[in-house]
Structure 1
Amino acid sequence: MLFSLKSLSIAVALLPLVVANTQDVQTRGTVPYYLVFLAQDTDSQAAADNTLERRLADPVIMINPTDANFGISAEAPGRLLTSADGTKIFAEARGNPAKPAIVFIHGFGIGAMAFDDIFNDPLWLARAYLVRYDTRGHGRSDKPTTAAAWVSQRLAEDFDAVVQSYNLVKPFVLGWSFGGSQIADVLSFHPQSYISGIIYDAGVPYQSALPTIGSPAGFAVVAGLNQTTNVTEFQSGYIDFINLCDPALDWDFYLACLGDGVVQPRAILNLSFTRTQNNTGLIQAGTTGALPTLAIFGGDDQVVLKQGILNALAGWQNLTVVTLPDAQHFTWISRPVLFRATVLNWIGA
């Protein structure tokens, strides 16, 4: 089949967006925006041109790396929410809303894309309603750099915006790595009944516990991550950080992790790590057994210390501890089957 020059020139321009085959779409969760056009075998030149014109007419938000709308189009999954202080928060939900809901909160420096393998897994989608969002300062969400934007209440309000937008009722909350500390923010402004349970995945339970939870190797890379004058040191520090999370990541995912770090203003590291929070609500919920808690660890995690986290959870009632053998800091990537079974069985999905 021959295309007009107009059609051919546009198609060539869009080639970087094309998924190689349908299997890639299913396993990577890529939206097949132009796949149908390039794969179809129409009988006429007019039909081909009309198909292309119709697809290009779909509304698309222009991509701007400094804008909260970066990478979002009318065809892409997810939505931009407005938090109470006006901050735009990117969020996404997949799966069956009738199933138990789990809100995933990512760690520092790597946005919600970290959970791609989970959100693209049909076995997860069949048994749970999965919700994730880029916390402020990360990914496609706004990145405010004033101290007022980083008080505990602001982060709790971001979570509230997600809950309200997706009509969630008592979701489970999974906090990975430093993202686990934001559960304490939520419980500072809501009763224990607001959520059904806590899942700490190599998670920091609260800010003040961080000094005893981070590994020596983890703290060693912070200077590079916080570098604002030496490009080489920043690049080296971020590469070291990702390799510390897992030294054998898929290349595309590895680059995506580095990309999330590059679009983040350096000031956000200090704002994230130096903000204060009240962990009274969290500790009360845990020590009274009011909120069931699952703590998952990677047997080969090089970023956080298991014993440090358990010390922070001392006195916790209704606590289940699971260590995944040979798993790195990206536990669900290292041991996907064990991780999925652990979480879904625990929430009763």
Structure 2
Amino acid sequence: MGARRSRRRKRHGSLDYEASGGLRQATRPRGCRRCADRTPSTVAAVRNDVTTDDGVRLAVEVHGEGPPLLIVHGFTGAKEDFADHVSALARFATVARFDHRGHGESDKPDHADAYSLDRLAADVLQVADALGFSRFRLLGWSMGGMAARQVVLAHPDRVDALVLMGTSPGCPSGVDPDMVEMGAAVALTEGMVVVRQLLDELDPLGTPADQRLKKERPGHLEYQRKNFFAVPPVAYAALIQEIAHQPNQLSELGSVTCPTLVIVGEQDEPFLTDCHAIASTIPDAELVVVPDAGHAPQFENPDVYLSAVQGFIRAHVGVEA
């Protein structure tokens, strides 16, 4: 990868860590308490739905004023996955979050051709265009991070700063293609209830942090299930196959020039391995590993997560920490 870059320690808010391939594991800021009683909250927002060029209505909410920040959620999630943190981010940015097609309150096309990572990336750009964001900061989680990766690679001139969270440069490490095909087939032939039963048995993203979260926030499991069952079988099958069979773009990420934060829970395998690879490839990328967190650090360790993201975004909208 050429000459070894010098190590730089970054400090954003109450969280400090190293950049350029180095890493200092994030620690809970002094005086912070785990917000065990938080649930996805409703924040004052302007509803500004966007219709894409193929006629799909995307449910969009916009908060705050300032330089634009687009937030892109993950597979079987929803825009509310970031509701707890919108108020903090909207103090210095215009925060837009939306439901993917086939998710949440957005339209749910009934044909598989409507669902692909290319299409999700196009949706990100069309939301930005509709909101008048010629350039923007972009945060993508999991599948949303895959869409964000495609956006920054295809349109680097549009992205001023990038946050990739719990995501992969291609098919997540260790994914079994046979299991993916089985899951897609079950969704199409037996429905989402049976898929959910299988996932509950296999628990592919089950971590100590996830188990703790479900105990501390009894309503969180119901919230997850509501989002899961909002996704129709055709969308589930098409997107899970897209995730598993996408090309690996790790080498291409070496061309990214915008400031980049990679954030991942310390228990979030296989994404932990993939995020280390991403952060090592993107020039001067900053990596934060969130302790006591798995695939959903914004829920599992929200104080550390928000400190990292808020500090990074503030640094790249011209606001002093």
Q: Which residue type is aligned with residue 259 of structure 2?
A: P
In the aligned structure 1, how far is the partner of 2:93 from the partner of 2:146? 23
CA displacement 1:267-304 (0-9 Å, x = unmatched): 22221133376776x854x31351222111112225x3
Corresponding residue for residue 172 of structure 1? 137
**Residue 305 and residue 221 in structure 1: after superposition, are their counterparts in 2 closer, same or farther (change >3 A)?**
farther
Q: CA deviation at 1:181?
A: 0.7
C-alpha RMSD of the superposition: 3.3
**Residue 224 and residue 243 in structure 1: after superposition, are their counterparts in 2 closer, same or farther (change >3 A)?**
farther
Q: CA deviation at 1:194?
A: 0.6
Q: CA deviation at 1:131?
A: 1.3
In the aligned structure 2, how far is the partner of 1:163 from the partner of 1:142? 18
Corresponding residue for residue 309 of structure 1? 275
Query: Aligned to 2:231, which of 250, 260, 264?
Result: 264
**Residue 140 and residue 210 in structure 1: after superposition, are their counterparts in 2 closer, same or farther (change >3 A)?**
same
Q: Which runs of 5+ in 2 are unaligned?
A: 1-36
TM-score, normalised relative to structure 2: 0.71
**Residue 104 and residue 237 in structure 1: after superposition, are their counterparts in 2 closer, same or farther (change >3 A)?**
farther
* CA contact 1:242–1:258 (8 Å) conserved in 2: no
**Residue 332 and residue 110 in structure 1: after superposition, are their counterparts in 2 closer, same or farther (change >3 A)?**
same
**Residue 297 and residue 222 in structure 1: after superposition, are their counterparts in 2 closer, same or farther (change >3 A)?**
farther
In the aligned structure 1, how far is the partner of 2:184 from the partner of 2:239? 16
More strand by share: 2
Larger radius of gyration: 1
Corresponding residue for residue 305 of structure 2? 339
Corresponding residue for residue 28 of structure 1? 41
Moved more, 237-246 or 290-299: 237-246
Query: Aligned to 1:193, which of 157, 179, 190?
Result: 157
Task: Using CA pairs under 8 Å that are at least 6 residues apart, name the structure with larger relative contact order, 1 or 2.
Answer: 2
Identity %: 23
The alignment covers a number of residue pairs equal to 267
**Residue 313 and residue 221 in structure 1: after superposition, are their counterparts in 2 closer, same or farther (change >3 A)?**
farther
Which SS does the other structure have where 2:80 is aligned?
helix
Alignment of 1:145-184 (within 5 A): 145-184=110-149
In the aligned structure 1, how far is the partner of 2:248 from the partner of 2:162? 14
**Residue 259 and residue 93 in structure 1: after superposition, are their counterparts in 2 closer, same or farther (change >3 A)?**
same
* CA contact 1:296–1:321 (8 Å) conserved in 2: yes
Which SS does the other structure have where 1:244 is aligned?
coil
Which SS does the other structure have where 1:28 is aligned?
coil
More helix by share: 1
Alignment of 1:1-349 (within 5 A): 28-29=41-42, 77-95=46-64, 97-98=65-66, 100-119=67-86, 122-187=87-152, 189-190=154-155, 192-205=156-169, 209-212=170-173, 223=183, 226-227=186-187, 228-229=189-190, 233-239=194-200, 241=203, 244=206, 246-247=210-211, 248-249=213-214, 250-275=217-242, 284=252, 286-301=253-268, 304-312=270-278, 314-347=280-313, 348=315, 349=319
In the aligned structure 1, how far is the partner of 2:192 from the partner of 2:146? 30
Q: CA deviation at 1:141?
A: 1.0
Q: CA deviation at 1:102?
A: 1.9
Moved more, 310-319 or 164-173: 310-319
Q: Which residue type is aligned with residue 110 of structure 1?
A: G
